[in-house]
């Protein structure tokens, strides 16, 4: 596959995404917060500010009076995408004057994020992780899990709140949920004495949220090794994207431009999915993505 064709897929994907930055998981699906936020980030990373602005405006329209952002324009709950909206507003809303035009939305969303808490449990022999650590759930009133926690941690870090107690405890939780040999799944480690298997997508997300963190247990370093070793030309689009982003956040770059191009072309459902296209585009811009490199506000926090 030529370098020219590797570049052309990005142009095609960007042009398609720019035509409908307010998007869902499917081309004809309802507008949803997660794909719209990822579209904003991908478009911004590839210097398409106008459609990126349309995407973040949509997220602002979806924000509820209490600061929460629900999963879609048709469903206000659950509110785990609130962190994703903050990330998109932080990246796409900054002006040349140093002010963010979505600061009011960010402030209300951060207040909501800090209000939402995962349910802790009584320690038992059933689960192998520390059930007393508190972070964020998929649904209010349930246990904390990897993916919703990563998005809220990233939102807090990009908002200059890395040292907030909620963020610190969530980092502890993410490290605790890494498997002893590296990687993670949805958030369990051992269940009834059986070690669960890791998966690339949540492992990459955990590496993203744990950028700049230290880990004396060695599980973070083993997770980097796991993700790097598991990547291949056959890795599915979302797993490939999150894995590359997570590795980049940990200072590890894997030459994968041919893999990204092939992943975009391999299946028509990928080319027509705004979410998958946005993730592949974001991974292609991982060397300049605020999720992997941080931003000025985070660095000065």
What's the CATH number where 186 sits? 1.50.10.20
259 phi, psi to nearest 5 deg:
-65, -40
Model confidence at 300, in pLDDT bands (50, 70, 90)? very low
Per-residue pLDDT, averaged over 9-13, amounts to 97
Tell me what pLDDT residue 298 has: 58
Counting the structural domains of the chain, the total is 1
Question: At residue 3, does pLDDT exceed 80?
Answer: no
Question: At residue 297, does pLDDT exceed 90?
Answer: no
Domain extent for 245: 3-300
Give 185-231 pLDDT, tens digit per residue. Answer: 999 998 878 888 999 999 999 999 999 999 999 999 999 999 999 99
CB atoms within 10 A of CB 93: 20
């Amino acid at each position: 596959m030529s370098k020219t064709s590797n570049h052309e897929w990005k142009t095609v994907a960007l042009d398609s995404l720019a035509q409908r930055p307010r998007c869902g998981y499917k081309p004809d699906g309802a507008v949803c917060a997660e794909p719209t936020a990822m579209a904003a980030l991908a478009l911004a990373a590839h210097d398409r500010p106008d459609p990126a602005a349309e995407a973040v405006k949509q997220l602002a329209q979806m924000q509820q009076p209490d600061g929460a952002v629900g999963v879609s324009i048709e469903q206000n709950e659950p509110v785990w995408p609130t962190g994703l909206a903050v990330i998109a507003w932080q990246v796409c809303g900054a002006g040349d004057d140093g002010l963010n035009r979505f600061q009011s939305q960010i402030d209300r969303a951060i207040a909501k994020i800090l209000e939402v808490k995962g349910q802790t449990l009584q320690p038992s022999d059933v689960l192998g992780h520390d059930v007393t650590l508190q972070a964020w759930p998929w649904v209010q009133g349930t246990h904390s899990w990897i993916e919703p926690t990563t998005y809220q941690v990233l939102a807090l870090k990009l908002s200059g709140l890395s040292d907030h107690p909620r963020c610190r405890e969530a980092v502890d939780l993410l490290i605790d949920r890494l498997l002893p040999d590296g990687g993670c799944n949805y958030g369990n480690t051992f269940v009834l004495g059986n070690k669960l298997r890791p998966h690339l997508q949540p492992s990459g997300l955990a590496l993203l949220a744990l950028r700049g963190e230290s880990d004396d247990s060695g599980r973070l370093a083993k997770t980097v090794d796991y993700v790097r070793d598991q990547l291949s030309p056959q890795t599915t689009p979302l797993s490939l994207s999150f894995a590359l982003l997570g590795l980049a956040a940990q200072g590890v770059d894997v030459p994968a431009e041919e893999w990204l191009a092939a992943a975009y072309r391999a299946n028509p459902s990928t080319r027509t999915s705004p979410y998958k296209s946005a993730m592949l585009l974001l991974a292609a811009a991982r060397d300049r993505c605020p999720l992997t490199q941080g931003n000025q506000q985070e660095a000065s926090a």
